[in-house]
Amino acid sequence: MTPSTAARLVGSLLATVPDFPQPGILFRDLTPVFADARGFAAVIEELVGPYAGRFDAIAGVDARGFLLAGAAAYHAGVGVLAIRKGGKLPGEVLTETYELEYGSAALELHPQQLARDSRVLIVDDVLATGGTIAASARLVQRAGYRVAGISTVLELRELDGRRRLGDHPVHVIHAV
């Protein structure tokens, strides 16, 4: 199978930053992809393409997932849900806590934004260890919606994040 236009553009535009945010970490920076009009458009089209007609809304994960989810929802003609870091949403929220390498974090979602059993596509920039996306999927389900699929721009294969996502369909544009 030949790489898609989006995969080729991500591969050519992706920046690798050594020792960020701490020594020994090799940070994969997608901001050059987002800044390139052709690259961003190709990414948005490919994030939703495999799931066309199979979702009613798109959920973006705080924070870079918001950039993708807003554009993808507009492109697909559906609404967008914000999955926020803990403590960022007012009013009634569902909270899902998950483990990080050192400690824990929480994500939140406003309930009752969509009809029960609505199909939600979860999008984010990077699939790394899978903890954030798995917590997002649990939030979507706890809200009474169905996870239509998971779509990310980049996957860090060595971290094996897919194992935490159960049997949810996963689409990744570019893997390293």
- The predicted-structure confidence for 140-164, as pLDDT tens digits, reads as follows 999 999 999 999 999 999 999 999 9
Q: Is residue 17, in this structure, part of any structural domain at all?
A: no
Q: What percent of the chain has pLDDT over 90?
A: 93
CATH number at residue 77: 3.40.50.2020
Q: Is residue 62, in this structure, part of any structural domain at all?
A: yes
Whole-prediction pTM? 0.95
User: What is the total count of domains within the chain?
Assistant: 1
Sign of CA dihedral 161, 164, 165, 167: positive
Q: What is the pLDDT of residues 99-145, one digit of tens each?
A: 876 779 999 999 999 999 999 999 999 999 999 999 999 999 999 99
- Confidence bin at 2 (pLDDT 50/70/90): low
Pairing of strands 146-155, 170-175: parallel
Q: Is residue 66, in this structure, part of any structural domain at all?
A: yes
Q: What angle do CA 35, 36, 41 make, to 5 degrees?
A: 105
Enumerate the β-bridge partners of residue 127.
155
Q: Is residue 31, in this structure, part of any structural domain at all?
A: no
What is the crossing angle of helices 37-48 and 64-76, to 10°? Answer: 70
Q: Is residue 12, in this structure, part of any structural domain at all?
A: no
Where would I find the H helices in the chain? Answer: 5-13, 31-35, 37-48, 64-76, 131-142
Q: Which of 99, 104, 44, 94 is nearest to 74 (CA)?
A: 44
pLDDT of residue 70: 98
Range of the domain at 118: 53-175
Q: What is the pLDDT of residues 46-91, one digit of tens each?
A: 999 999 999 999 999 999 999 999 999 999 999 999 999 999 999 9
Q: Is residue 43, in this structure, part of any structural domain at all?
A: no
Q: Is residue 113, in this structure, part of any structural domain at all?
A: yes
The residues annotated as belonging to the active site are 64, 101
Q: Which of 129, 122, 153 is nearest to 42 (CA)?
A: 153
